[in-house]
Amino acid sequence: MIAEGPLSGITVVELGDSASAPFAGKILAELGAEVWKVERPSGDSSRGWGPSEWKGDGAAFHALNRGKRFIGVDIKDQTQRNELQRLIDQADVFIHNLRPGSAANYELDADSLRATNPELIYCELGAFGHAGPLNTQGGYDPLMQAFSGIMSITGEHGQPPVRAGVSIVDFGAGMWSVIGILAALHRRDVKHTGSAVNTSLLETAIAWMSVGVAGFGADGNAGERHGSGVAFIVPHRAFTVADGDLVVSCANDSLFAKLCKALDHPEWAVDDKFATNAGRLRNRAEIDGLIGAVLADHTRAHWQERLAEFGIPIAPIQTTDEMVGHEQTRALGIINPAADDELPIVGLPISFDGKRPGPLHAVRPVGHDNDSLRAAVRTRR
């Protein structure tokens, strides 16, 4: 816990498993809240995720759970559940991603918990959402990328759809949960009442499709796959250069004209086929081919220096090791080990008054803080 964090004094109970709710809990912990992570006695699923491991647990678990207190609770056991409920009675926030509909079976639903703690902020992070014919079904990130349409526009044209390489839906749902929790905490300060916050994987995935949905509403175009590019800007994609790949982004006609000068082909900028973005969209394959042929002759470093002179937004496609070792990443200080562990973990992507919250303590075994839980429940009555 960060003693001086903006959420210092806020107590959170996170009954989270896998990625989405634990990610929300980690954000809250990094903001300074005291977060009690509740695991089944066998542990969070991500403790067993591979292939990368660190000190007996999956590296993913370390990435998502640093800085919390760890308690093991069998919610099917009435005695243990009563103890958990007493902790929630004294908490500010309760967040869970239990299988839809199961919380009520254990008296962990919003009505039950807010009956004894009316100012509680209750956040349920579901799969398909809290309403509709699929609301009781479970779900994971890839399912939502599929269902929402994200996968239908991800990948190369004419090739099978692919999933984004990171769990954008899981992490996004965790972020939306935190946004909802923070808004509810503010309202509680004003109106002195708690609230139930509902978020879900599917709603998050649909939110990421906002531009695509607007486009479909405008002209009925359901979208297609453009590889590293996008549907509505050209050029705005990766090009293969002599020693790798480089993303070049020209979001307006002025930038395109500068790119043409940088590539020693100013005539493209006045060609009716390419002068406007609308024209470039119609002639995407041709202009991308012309640009690609020029870029292929030199290295990433050459083009980064050359295009930067003209103010062209560019970035090399880096591997994880290149990103971690880059001087820009190091300058931001966003990747750090805990004070009591050597494993580097990504920190909060927010700074307050120019200072990023410090690194949290390392993860603990299941049930590490059970004795602290019992003491807290006794002293806080």
Q: Which residues are catalytic?
A: 170
Can you name the residues that pair with 38 across neighbouring β-strands?
Answer: 71
Residue 95 in contact with residue 120, Cβ under 8 Å?
Answer: no
The backbone region for 356, taken as left when phi is positive above 0, alpha when psi lies in -120 to 50, beta otherwise, is beta
Quote the CA–CA distance of 214 and 151 in Å, as a whole number: 17
Can you name the residues that pair with 64 across neighbouring β-strands?
Answer: none
Quote the CA–CA distance of 238 and 244 in Å, as a whole number: 10
Alpha helices in the chain (DSSP H): 20-30, 59-65, 78-89, 110-116, 141-147, 168-191, 201-208, 210-219, 253-262, 277-282, 284-295, 300-309, 320-325, 327-332, 370-379
Burial of 10 (0-12, 13-18, 19+ CB in 10 A): buried
Dihedral through CA 45, CA 362, CA 321, CA 315, nearest 10? 90
Quote the CA–CA distance of 125 and 114 in Å, as a whole number: 17
The backbone region for 11, taken as left when phi is positive above 0, alpha when psi lies in -120 to 50, beta otherwise, is beta
Quote the CA–CA distance of 140 and 63 in Å, as a whole number: 18
Task: Please report where in the chains the tokens 């004209």 appear, as a residue.
Answer: 257
Residue 308 in contact with residue 262, Cβ under 8 Å?
Answer: no
Please confirm whether the linkage preceding 235 is cis (ω < 30° from 0). Answer: yes
Residue type, 165: G
Alpha helices in 166-283 (DSSP H): 168-191, 201-208, 210-219, 253-262, 277-282
